[in-house]
Amino acid sequence: MDEKISIIPLGGTPDVTKNMYVYEYKNEILLVDCGLGFADPSLLGVELLIPDISYLKTSGKKIAGMAITHGHEDHMGGLPYILPELPDFPIYATPLTAEFANEKLKEFGVSKRVQKVNFDGGEIKIGNFSITFIRITHSVPDTSNIFIKTPVGNFFHASDFKFDFSPYDGRKTEVEKITKASNEGILCLLSDSLRAETVGKTPSESKISHALESEMEKCTGKFLVTTYSSNIARLNQIINAARKFNRKVCFVGRSVIKNKTIAENLGYMKIEKGMEVFVDELKRYKDSNLVLIVAGSQGQENSALYRMVNDDFKEIKITSKDTIVFSSDPIPGNEISINALLDSIAKKGAKAVHSDVSPDFHVSGHGATEDLILMMNLTHPKKVFPIGGNYRHLIAYKNLAKKQGFSDKDIIVTENGQEVIFTKDDSYFGKKLSLKNVYVDEISGEEVESFVIRDRQRLAKDGVVIVMCEIDSTNGQLLENPNIIVRGMSPQEIKDVSRHLIKEIRNTLSKKKQKVSDWWYVRKSIGQVCEKYIFRNLRKRPLVLPVVIEV
């Protein structure tokens, strides 16, 4: 019987976030990535989503280790939530990725640490698996694709990538290492698919420098730039533009300050003494001599940029002479908050430059069709497996692969929880895991059950009805009219509901005049009669909370 290895996506397929992949051989598991996702506005009180790791906790199989491809939250942000739930195992990542991850683990008080691996570190043996980190270009330095050797065949895990042959930081894709991996034979290429619908090649990061310099030269006030804090190359471009025009640089916001410090410590960023100034020193300089690198590119409430624009930042005030550049694209779901922020900037009279105005200040870190085809041609896999995209991106990648000569049976389009089993020459679907949504509360940072989300949604949509009843334990009847509190309805609805619910409750209880032996049943009966009346007459489903006082 042929040996088998399986891959199970716990997140990332079809999904742009929560990337986490299980490679399973016999009794051993290798994990690739441990990301998180961001909640949409319908998930009330929820900030983050994380992969469901129930299978890892119940399968009885040993986790031999984990590899992290790069330092974006959707690939490593889940570590502080997930690692405490799992036994110890080694975790590997390239230097900047490891620093980002370890800083996050320290922040959350998690003792586990990620081991740093240099790109020239060679092959790492993890149980029955061997991995090699291969440098690739993306929108954060030290991004890697991972060449995974197994007893059944070799896999090339190409999560997020593009081919930038003139990257701003000079760190080019290690094409020769990809070719070497290809020469050893690749059973399957797992490939980024996010821009599979975009024809052509993703532009180089280097093109942004000219646009920044041109806009900065025209600015007579403060020049503010907001971008992803992990995009160290972009931060360096802003710093170099400021240097050209003799402007001081100030980093504002916890995330940009933290990542700037990490980049400096690793030698990925150099700011000469006297060029950087701090927030409390800004008043010493003319606005025209300042560049501010500011957190808040997604319009996040309480971010540095949000507070400045809303006059809630004591040291920094936005004026009509200022220019604010959004050097990033909106993350899906954040468009409303970003548009609100742009409106607030317009009210200040300041100039806002963003992707709807000019495409020159941001380029994607994901490859378009030519990049994806080049990766297929370099790796020469037997099979391809699109990941890291929504379903339409997976299908676009499938169509692209078919044009490159791959047959339908050699293109694997699947979804989270679906096991894909590989033999030396073939692949087929195995078991399907039932994955649940795992939510993280935005205040406590703790996991939230799905029923809590449902209750919050009902509260937001249809309100709440609290029914307080004093009931005589000897006969099960009301001692006096219930106290009914209604929120989230119109004044007339509140009046009608309160009056009619009293009658409905009295009628229900009068049918069973006897000593109360089951108070749970009484509470349930009161709740049900209230829910039925409100839905029948108002077509609403508020959260009904019966409170029974036993007398």
Whichever domain contains 530, its CATH number is 3.10.20.580
Residue predicted with more confidence, 41 or 350 = 350
Confidence of residue 45 (pLDDT cuts 50, 70, 90): low
Same domain, 131 and 66: yes
Domain boundary among 332, 353, 374: 353
Measured in degrees and rounded to the nearest 5, phi and psi for residue 494 equal -60, -45
**208 alpha-carbon distance from chain centroid:** 25
**How confident is the prediction for the chain on average, in pLDDT?**
93
Distances in Å between the Cα of 236 and the Cα atoms of 96, 231, 257, 267, 347 are 15, 9, 13, 12, 30
Q: The domain containing residue 521 runs over which residues?
A: 463-550
The per-residue pLDDT for 38 is 78
CB 96 within 8 A of CB 266: yes
Same domain, 17 and 105: yes
Same domain, 193 and 209: no
Interatomic CA distance for residues 186 and 197, integer angstroms? 25
The per-residue pLDDT for 443 is 46
Interatomic CA distance for residues 298 and 334, integer angstroms? 6
Q: Does residue 442 surpass a pLDDT of 60?
A: no
Query: What is the average pLDDT across 317-337?
Result: 89
- Per-residue pLDDT reduced to its tens digit, 90-134: 999 999 999 999 999 999 999 999 999 999 999 999 999 999 999
Instruction: Find residue 130's DSSP bridge partners.
Output: 125, 149
Residue predicted with more confidence, 538 or 458 = 538
- What's the domain count of the chain? 3
Task: Catalogue the long-range contacts made by 167-170 (C-beta closer than 8 Å, 24 or more residues apart).
Answer: 167/137, 167/204, 167/205, 167/206, 167/233, 168/204, 168/205, 168/206, 168/208, 168/209, 168/233, 168/234, 168/236, 168/237, 169/141, 169/232, 169/233, 169/236, 169/268
Confidence of residue 55 (pLDDT cuts 50, 70, 90): very high
CB 63 within 8 A of CB 31: yes
The per-residue pLDDT for 330 is 83
Same domain, 10 and 127: yes
Q: Does residue 265 surpass a pLDDT of 70?
A: yes
Confidence of residue 303 (pLDDT cuts 50, 70, 90): very high
Minimum mean pLDDT range among 413-427, 436-450, 485-499: 436-450
The per-residue pLDDT for 251 is 98
Q: Does residue 235 surpass a pLDDT of 90?
A: yes
Among 202, 194, 169, CA closest to 74: 194
Query: What is the average pLDDT across 480-503?
Result: 91
Q: Does residue 465 surpass a pLDDT of 60?
A: yes
Instruction: Characterize the bridge pairing of strands 447-448 and 62-67.
Output: unpaired
Same domain, 284 and 349: yes
Among 365, 428, 372, 366, CA closest to 402: 372
Interatomic CA distance for residues 65 and 449, integer angstroms? 28
Report the 10 Å Cβ neighbour count for 411.
Answer: 20
Among 235, 214, 211, CA closest to 225: 235
Sheet holding 144-149, edge to edge: 124-126, 129-135, 144-149, 154-158, 188-192, 383-387
Residues 6+ apart with CB under 8 A from 238: 212, 225, 227, 249, 291, 293, 327
Domain boundary among 318, 353, 388: 353
- Return the residue matching tokens 């309480």: 302
Same domain, 211 and 179: no
The per-residue pLDDT for 438 is 85
**CA quadruple 401, 406, 409, 415: dihedral, nearest 10:** -20
Domain boundary among 302, 326, 353: 353
Interatomic CA distance for residues 120 and 114, integer angstroms? 18
Q: In 349-446, which ranges are continuous DSSP H helix?
A: 369-379, 391-403
| Structure tokens that stand for 382 in this block | 């037997």
Give me the CATH number covering residue 97: 3.60.15.10
CB 19 within 8 A of CB 388: yes
Let me know if residue 450 belongs to a domain.
no
Let me know if residue 385 belongs to a domain.
yes
Same domain, 130 and 271: no
CB 199 within 8 A of CB 274: no
Minimum mean pLDDT range among 361-370, 373-382, 456-465: 456-465
Same domain, 418 and 368: yes
Query: What is the average pLDDT across 431-448?
Result: 74
Same domain, 160 and 277: no
